[in-house]
Structure 1
Amino acid sequence: MELADRAVGFLLSLISLSIFTYYTFWVIILPFVDSDHFIQQYFLPQEYAILIPVFAGVVLLCLLCVFVGLVMLKSKKKKA
């Protein structure tokens, strides 16, 4: 089981590093590259650089609130 945990950890680290590198390049470096450069075709428009993290944050916050609400409801039923 330890090997599987390491593999999952390595995979998650690799995915996180890839997303971080892509987003950093997209937000910090890409605005200084000409708009007709070929590298621009691999990235979404700049507006999405803000919209995607905000949307992901709202979804995460909603899921967290639902989880806390369900835990509170279950703990209330156990007391009664």
Structure 2
Amino acid sequence: MELADRAVGLLLTLTSLSIFTYYTFWVIILPFVDSDHFIQQYFLPQEYAILIPVFAGVVLLCFLCIFIGSVMLKSKKKKA
């Protein structure tokens, strides 16, 4: 089981590192590259650099609120 946990940890670390590197390159370096350069085809337009994290944050906040609300309702039913 320990080997599986380490493999999952390594996979999550590599995934988050690759996402961080892609996003950092997209937001910090890409605005200084010419718009007709071939590397531009691998990235979405700059507007999405803000829209995607904001949307993900709102979705995460909604799920968190729903989870906390359901836990509070379940604990209230157990007391009664």
**TM interval, short-chain normalised:** over 0.9
Deviation at 1:45, TM superposition (A): 0.1
Deviation at 1:16, TM superposition (A): 0.2
Unaligned 5+ segments in structure 2 are: none
TM-score, normalized by length of structure 2?
0.99
Once residues 67 and 13 of structure 2 are traced to their aligned partners in structure 1, the CA distance between those partners, rounded to angstroms, is 25
Once residues 12 and 76 of structure 1 are traced to their aligned partners in structure 2, the CA distance between those partners, rounded to angstroms, is 36
TM-score, normalized by length of structure 1?
0.99
Unaligned 5+ segments in structure 1 are: none
Q: Which runs of 4+ in 1 moved over 6 A?
A: none
Deviation at 1:27, TM superposition (A): 0.1
- What value does the CA root-mean-square deviation take over the aligned residues? 0.3
1:32 is matched with which residue? 32
Aligned length: 80
Deviation at 1:7, TM superposition (A): 0.6
Once residues 71 and 63 of structure 2 are traced to their aligned partners in structure 1, the CA distance between those partners, rounded to angstroms, is 12
Once residues 5 and 72 of structure 2 are traced to their aligned partners in structure 1, the CA distance between those partners, rounded to angstroms, is 30
Deviation at 1:18, TM superposition (A): 0.4
Once residues 33 and 25 of structure 1 are traced to their aligned partners in structure 2, the CA distance between those partners, rounded to angstroms, is 11
1:11 is matched with which residue? 11
